[in-house]
Amino acid sequence: MGLFSTFSFLKPNEKRKDGVYEKFKDEEKKVLNFYQACCRNIRKNCRKDNTGFYHGVGSDLLSEIGVEKLQF
């Protein structure tokens, strides 16, 4: 997303005078939308256990054949 060095980082709501970040606004929005869609899909199709991990169908199939789930 255009961040190549520590000099590229800005404080929240800080404007850069040369307009470098203006060209990345669309890409940032696309990445954020993709991330949110992934989160919605995981929450919809997986179940959350009491430790906060999400488990799907594959995890359940492994436990049926005797493979132990590891919780860190």
What's the one-letter identity of residue 38? Answer: C
Q: Are 69 and 63 in contact (CB under 8 A)?
A: yes
- pTM exceeding 0.75: no
Q: Are 29 and 1 in contact (CB under 8 A)?
A: no
Residue 15 DSSP SS3: coil
Q: How confident is the model at residue 42 (pLDDT cuts 50, 70, 90)?
A: very high
Q: How confident is the model at residue 36 (pLDDT cuts 50, 70, 90)?
A: very high
- Strand partners of residue 54: 48
Which region among 2-6, 16-20, 54-58 has the lowest average model confidence (pLDDT)? Answer: 2-6
Q: Is the pLDDT of residue 30 over 50?
A: yes
How far, in whole angstroms, is CA 37 from its chain's centroid?
A: 9
End-to-end CA separation in angstroms for the chain: 32
For residue range 54-64, what is the model confidence (pLDDT) as tens digits? Answer: 888 777 777 77
Encoded tokens for 66: 């005797």
